[in-house]
Amino acid sequence: MEMVDVNAHLHTPYSFSAFTGIPQAADMAAEQGVKVIGINDFYSMDGYEEWNKETRARKLYPLFNIEFISLNSEDQAAGVRVNDPNNPGRTYLSGKGMAFPVILSGTPAEQLASVRNESNLQVAAMCAKVADLFKSLGVDASFDFETIKTNLTKGSVRERHLAKAIRMEVCRLYPDAEAQKAFYTKLFGGKELKSDVTCDAKVENEIRGNLLKAGGAAFVAEDPKAFLPMQTVRSIILAAGGIPTYPFLADDAKGGFTDFEGDLPKAAKTLKERGFYSVEFITTRNSVEVLEKYAGYLWNEGFVVTFGSEHNTPAMEPVKLAARGGVDLTPLLKELNYKGACITAAHQYLKSQGKPGYLDAEGNPDLAKRDEYVALGDILIKEVIL
């Protein structure tokens, strides 16, 4: 089987993204030789149709995914950090290989719409605080939530959109770089901007850190309703035809791990007990050695394994994957990523045909036929990209 490069986790402007649009993401993938790419937006499947159109126009194979932030009350009560290093119990989850066209309906669709609305309400509250803050500084600026939603988003409004809107408004009000820096000092309560004002991504990160995070003047705590229980998220993903997937943080820059992930065999056992048989990694976070250890172990334990780059910040990075520090992925990692993508492709194809996929109705994998799903996915992918 000839392997091709895969990036199975890319955010688009349908949530927040470094990309100006889906065409740019598809163009970059094509230019960098990445043949299989997966959309992976927060709380949204709205981009699937455009994703399908733009990828296939470039002979790329599309994967259809989604991302949630869930809460596991058991881990929260025990103070266990899962894959959010700062919030015990808070757990990011993805759905991989969702059915396209979308099949989600009924109560699961209502639950998805509700949690997305709660996320928007939190940003709307922060937006109002930002407007008041500018007013208190004697600045006539407009931070209308609906305007931001219309001009900067595809309907799902994230904290990063508000940071972008603030940066753009400061640029409009103060064209001079020194005047911008002086205003940021006032805006940050006396703290100076560290970044060059021409570096949009870094400025927006400082805005988030100084204004929109806990302790910031425009911070608004998230309502508990914004975090569905882990098992509810799993049920929504299954109802949408997807594969519930756990994103590993794995090692940080200092070699540290979260409480949940530090003991790999225990984490794998717990994930299976919770009904998760698929995992993913954002490879630029991790050393290539840890990626090989974790991905290899999990694949051998029966998990589907995929990798991505995320692109969920203003900073533009390559679509072609690498480990931390730009280190190339090893042949083993490329093989596991491609096989994982093949299983995902086969699953989403079968679900779109109204047939059983890699998981049964309860979310259990057909491990005995894993190689058959890899083979089917390989055929499906090659039909599109060759």
Whether the per-residue pLDDT at 223 is higher than 90: the answer is: no
Residue range 234-253: mean pLDDT, rounded: 98
Please report the pLDDT score of residue 224 as a whole number: 79
197-206, 220-229, 301-310, 353-362: least confident range: 220-229
Q: Domains in the chain, start-ordered, CATH in brackets?
A: 5-103+240-385 (3.20.20.140), 114-212 (no CATH)
Given a contact cutoff of 8 angstroms between Cβ atoms, the answer to whether 381 and 4 are in contact is yes
Reduced to 3 states (helix: H, G, I; strand: E, B; else coil), residue 104 is: coil
| Predicted TM-score (pTM) of this structure | 0.93
* SS3 label, residue 31: helix
User: Distance between CA 66 and CA 92 in Å, rounded?
Assistant: 11
Residue 152's pLDDT band, with cuts at 50, 70 and 90, is very high
pLDDT at 1: 87
Buried b (16+ CB within 10 A) or exposed e, 107-139: ebbebbeebbebbbbbbbbbbebbbebbeeeee
Tens of pLDDT along 245-259?
999 999 999 999 999
Q: Give the tens place of pLDDT for each residue, 108-121.
A: 999 999 999 998 99
Q: Whole-angstrom Cα distance, residue 196 to residue 113?
A: 39
Q: With CA atoms as reference, report the closest residue to 314 among 219, 210, 202.
A: 202
pLDDT beyond 90 at 181: yes
pLDDT of 45 reads 97
- pLDDT higher than threshold 90 for residue 143: no
Q: Identify the residue with better confidence: 156 or 57.
A: 57
The residue written with tokens 């280190």 in the block is 327
